[in-house]
A and B are shown apart, each in its own frame.
Chain A
Amino acid sequence: MIKQLFKQIWVERKQNAWLLIELAVVFFFLLLMTDFLWVKLKNYMEPKGFNIENTYMMKLKMLEPIAQHYVNPEEITQTSVEDLFTIVERIKLHPDVEVASVSLFSEPYSMGGFWIGLRADSIQTPSVRNRMVTPSYFDVFQIRTPDGKPIQVQETGYSQLVLTEDIGELLFGEADRAIGQEVFFEGFEGEIPQPNKIAQVCNLLKRQDFYPYEGAYFEMLSTSKYEEWVKNNDITWTNICLRIRPGSARHFEEHFISEMGDRLRENNLYVASIVSSDKLRDDVVGKMIREDVLPMTYVMIFVLITVFMGVFGAFWLRTRQRRAEIGIRMAMGANNTVVWRSILVESLCLVSLIIIPAFLVYLNMLNADILDTWRLPFTAGRTLIALGSALLIMCVIVISGTFWPANRAASIQPIDALRDE
């Protein structure tokens, strides 16, 4: 029967040409859209590698000379790093605070910082994100080892690093083998590279929900290292992150700063604001959903409705014009079901003709990186999911567009149809 149908499609190729072009264009759009949404959904569903529930971030500032409480720098006896750790110690004493850490450019959903290549033996990684943190950072965001154990790093004078799993694998073949090994930073020429010891390997990490996993290394911030860093940089770039005890969130955010009062200020350094990580997440991820994913979904709904109407209309007219043919077939002994089924199958045969060309264009676009291959690499799985869901939508549209006209066509009396002839 199918061979017969294809023959019929071929005979009517002139009438079918336009419909075929339309179906091809439509299917191509469907492919692009299912691909876009799948990439977004896949990224969104992946574990992020950290837990921001009940966590907060604090920003620091320095008092201006015209401000109240400003202390003349000559009268200050301790360094700004000491000021900072004094404040952190006081914050830890707050009854709601479970654990607090100090970090630079490392908070989930933050940007900034710098990227540098790592080298071990002859293997060199591409640029990897640097994150400078105190060891308690891993407890604040509940970052674990790949097998789910807490990360324990001691503060020592030695330069200690924690690598993410992917970087560990890249350098040493296996994440476990990395622990205890030495790596070097890719340095400037003539510089003598300092070895760094890998203390632990942690799970894969994301910068934000819609990004792919991002390789990173954590540098442990010891006081001496920090003092060194502050000489060339601004201490107010530092952030204090903390995790509070479950259940105290509501009270905490509103009252923390006013409750702590002067304790959040040491000499000229003070805590300027406290923001929940949920808010930081919304600024990045919520914004992306609002400005990127939602509009795309609107466009998709528009395309779906338009496509549905177009295909429905085209099949409707097509079936109606073939009343005479249907009449003959019924007069020759075909019953309702046979007619109905052959119309439906013919529509699906038409669809099957355009799948391959549209899919090839889509594959080419992926191959040429016109579509997003950064968030999700070009794999067979990805293309099959896009193809499968686009095909499903297409079939639903075509079947529902054919169903009613086919049903009506099949239910006419042969004599009526034959009179047309």
Chain B
Amino acid sequence: MYKQYFKQAIATIRENPLVSFLTILGTALAVAMMMVLVLVYQVKTASFAPVSERHRMLYVSAIEGLNDKNAGFRGGALGYRIINECFYPMTTPESITAVGAHVRQKQTSAPGSKTVRECDVRETDAAFWKVFDFRFLNGVPYTPEMVTSAIPVAVVSERVAREFFGTTQVAGLSIQLDFVDYRIQGVVASVSEAVSEAYGEIWIPYTLNRDIMSGGMVEGIGGQLQLCMLAKSTADFDAIRQEAQNRVATFNTGQKEFLANIWKQPLSSTQQMFYYAPEDRMHGNFSGMLSLAALFLFLPVFNLLAMMFSQMQKRNPEFGLRKAFGATTKDIVGQILAENFIITLLGSIIGLFLSFLFFYITKDSLLQRPDVNLQLSMIFKPALFAAALLTCLVINLLSTTFPAWRTSRAEVVDSLNTNI
């Protein structure tokens, strides 16, 4: 029977090449645009060095500290005191690091180099090098002891090393940031700004920043740091969240005026993309993406519907004949759906290829970063193909069911009597 449908579908395509071409192209475009959305999402949440373990990571990037008059600190980054007393002692995560929430620009120069420019400096602790897997080209990361005693040491990116020294073998040399001499401990492969939680050109211990070390605002709750945790496995996420909440509650019992609140954090990277913790609502990104997806899906479906109605009308006598010989409404709707599915599937395959092409051309604007290093593993994921197939099915069902149902319900006599 399905072989018959297949034959019929081919015949339909042949009989009216133009309309079939338009149907296929319409489906292809819809699938392509949907897949571009999926691709953007995939790349934005992909795991790659230095976030090879992104799927195991959890983040706390905002906090609230309010007193009983509801005044205080809202939605900014975390203070050093709460991190030190409340989060550093956490035991469930494999490791936990506090990093500056934003990069800081520092005027950079090196002895013997004429270059002077501002570099993006990220302030971190020593555990940072455990949570993120930077590739060291030379030297080693700074140690916890160096961080605790606030020794001016730095790790620089390959690009900075080449720019200021002309080589990557620079461990042990010194580099000047805002007129303070730092000893270079190591050189790492440069990272993309797309890894916003770890990006920097130079990394230094945050203990050198007096602002951070002064504890923070509202009794040490608000400040300039954010937390990244590496769970042993994704199964631990709930336990980690529970521990974090418990520790915050304990911390709050010792507070004089301001109470800390981390909402539903820590969040995974996927949750961070779609959920805005401080206001407990969907992120603007997500609602924007949803409305785009709706547009991409419904406009082509609308088009296909108009064409399907006309086509069904044309095939009316055929269905009348089949019904006269005993076919039920269900049989006919099923047949039309199956035939049409073959055409939509063809469109979806073309659409998938189109989406790769389109994504590649426009990736800078779509990913909002010019320097994302795309890898094939970020793109070719089973989820992508599943999403494509799903879109294809949805388009097929939406655009065919109603016209097919309406046609197949017509009286046999009327159908047979239709003028083509």
Partner-B contacts on A (CB < 8 A) = 15, 18-19, 21-22, 25-26, 29, 59, 61, 63-64, 66-70, 257-258, 270, 272-273, 290-291, 294-295, 298-299, 302-303, 305-307, 309-314, 316-318, 321, 324, 420-421
Contact = CB atoms under 8 A, between A and B. Distances in A.
Contacts of B313: 15, 321
Given A313-B22, A317-B19, A273 B118 contact: yes
Interface in B299-313: 299-300, 302-307, 309-311, 313
B420 A22 contact: no
B29 A22 contact: no
Nearest to B209: A64
Contact of A302 (B33, B309, B314, B420): B33
A394 to B, nearest CB: 15
A408 to B, nearest CB: 11
Contact of B299 (A61, A306, A313): A306
Contact of B303 (A61, A69, A306): A306
Nearest to A312: B22
Given A63-B178, A290-B365, A420-B420, A306 B29 contact: yes
Contact of A270 (B179, B300, B420): B179
Given A273-B105, A313-B307, A298 B299 contact: no
A21 B292 CA distance: 20
11 contacts: A18-B305, A21-B302, A59-B105, A67-B180, A273-B118, A295-B366, A303-B295, A307-B299, A313-B26, A313-B307, A420-B419
B303 A22 contact: yes
Contacts of B310: 314, 317-318, 321
B214 interface: no
A390 B361 CA distance: 28
Interface in B357-395: 362, 364-366, 368
A71 to B, nearest CB: 12
A420 B303 CA distance: 28
- For the residues of B in contact with A, the DSSP-based class is helix
A22 B306 contact: yes
B18 A316 contact: yes
Interface residues of B, number: 48
Interface string B171-196: 00000101111000000000000000
Given A291-B368, A306-B30, A298 B178 contact: no
A219 to B, nearest CB: 28
B140 interface: no
A196 B283 CA distance: 45
A63 B22 CA distance: 67
A313 B295 contact: no
B246 interface: no
B124 interface: no
Interface in B107-158: 107, 114-118, 152
B29 A310 contact: no
A68 B180 contact: yes
A299 B295 contact: yes
Interface in B401-420: 419-420
B398 interface: no
Contacts of A290: 364-365, 368
B210 interface: yes
Nearest to B368: A291
B25 interface: yes
Contacts of B303: 22, 306-307, 309-311, 313-314
Given A290-B368, A294-B365, A306-B29, A68 B179 contact: yes
Contacts of A258: 114-116
Contact of A272 (B23, B30, B178, B309): B178
A321 B309 CA distance: 12
Max chain B Cβ within 10 angstroms of own Cβ: one of A59, A66, A306? A306
B237 to A, nearest CB: 31
Given A66-B152, A67-B179, A317 B307 contact: yes
